[in-house]
Chain A
């Protein structure tokens, strides 16, 4: 029997079901051959090893930003800086990949660590401002996104740009810096291992350590946490540093795993997508894996759909919006939970 404690799970499933149905309805409206298009959308991502590989490749950056945002959201901080940090750290790692000469083992490690540390330091600024003076972290982090983008474009155009490349792109990375592929037939790279380690560590941190406990307490009620002796300012600072570190590592891993030059001429959007991943996962690090894979699956499906049918892939951002609206809606299906609670109470009485 369905219990009220399973409510969150049921609701998430309901949201996903509704959004998939909506996808089918929209496809039916715009496609000449709806059934075939839906088939492509659902089946193509798992039709071959290389397509399934695409799903995993796409999920890696989403897991990084989803994890980073889970930590922040769990602390009740709506900091959206992961977007800019992901971009900028990728650029820093690219610079290291271009200019350093190290061996194939050390080079990616150094580049990724550098990107991660820069990300942590940048993220620390809004964290510090919030902790010390209560400056609104949403506004400062959004400003930082724009600043990082401007500075990043400057560095790309004036310091790293390869004039002989066909588009605005950096010089090629040293081959020693590029991450190794780990599964034949796909482009899945060692970044997958890194992100899974980060997620498990994040889970352990959040639920098994004193620091994680402080994080959750601060998120539940900052003033209460402060009264019970938790130095919430310090908590806010270290969680920001940690989230920045993860987003920074994510950007670095993405660029070294999937590209041979730095060629982003706009913010890549993974930071904002991370918000959706975190919400779907209910800010639980381990659940980030599933929600990132789901998002990657429907995205690859949409990509395949635009390639093999008459429906453009942008359809998916409409669906993403619907999922985000519903999954973060506290009151959605709440009446159902209330009814279940009532029933259980009666049975126990």
Chain B
């Protein structure tokens, strides 16, 4: 009855798998490598890429992560906040949805 995205699930899943590496990269920037390193202990880039936050909220989140052990040189803190809030602001469209590879099972 429905002609939906679900009807093309296998295609989407395949595309999702292929595109995962691309979509999971953080965008280019002078501080990108340091952000990768600081966050990778606990997170992949996907959790960062799905956020859409103001500079104020990014600041709060970054400071929480630093408190919890993210290794951020204090001299880089402002650059981190600028990079994150410019890369993932509230008005940016959502990322592509990524699926676990393989066909739906029961």
Do A and B belong to a common assembly?
no
What residues make up the interface of A, taking CB atoms closer than 8 Å to B? none
